Amino acid sequence: MSSRNGFQATDLALIAVFAALVAVLAVIPPMFMVGAVPFALQMVAVMLAPMVLGSIRGGCAVSLYILVGALGLPVFSGGSSGIGVLVGPTGGYLWGWLIGAFVAGAVATSVLRRRPRKSMLPVWLFVVALVDLVCVYLGGIFGLMGFAKLSLNAALAANLVLFGLDVVKGILACLIATAVLTAFPRLMP
């Protein structure tokens, strides 16, 4: 990505591909529901985008996904769409994804520019996944409190069940990102 000239064609293609990956994984039916929150595979793609693309491109990929869904394409979990999803019970998670993509992407960019040893790359990417998860879960908790009118304790309890499973998804995203960045080192932000 050239900061002087904006995005190159490759950057735009990567942003679109990762936004599409999130959308594709969103339409796969959730494994299960915890209250109003669907537990779907798209979280792997949401964590993968900032790991592989960094802050700006990863954040733009998640932004594109949210924009397309808000404009009416049925790309949100369960085939839903529209602005109402952004202010519904799961809306806080979408806002957390957006914030997490930029924040975790900034951590990924900082780590990857230091060119960590190959053996340490998965460890550093797991740190990136944890940063992303913290952003997502903070958004989700505040969303459940604000949009679904849950108490802090109820929102925390609803998320407690999911967090451990999302850590497993974070490990999967780390393994995928390690393979991608090892195979395509020029992709590093």
Q: Tokens standing for 130?
A: 């944890």
pLDDT at 137: 96
Q: What is the CA radius of gyration of the chain?
A: 16
Contacts of 123 (CB under 8 A, 6+ apart): none
What does the buried/exposed string (b/e) look like for 105-134 if buried means 16 or more CB atoms within 10 Å of the residue's CB?
bbbbbebbeeeeeeeebbebbbebbebbbb
pLDDT at 2: 46
pLDDT in tens, the chain (189 residues): 545 567 899 999 999 999 999 999 988 887 777 666 566 789 999 999 999 999 999 999 999 999 999 999 999 987 899 999 999 988 999 999 999 999 999 999 999 888 878 889 999 999 999 999 999 999 999 999 999 999 999 999 988 878 888 998 999 999 999 999 999 988 877
CATH fold of the domain at 10-180: Arp2/3 complex 21 kDa subunit ARPC3 (1.10.1760)
pLDDT at 17: 97
* Domain map (residue ranges) of the chain: 10-180
Q: Scan for tokens 């991608």, then name that residue.
A: 180
pLDDT at 172: 94
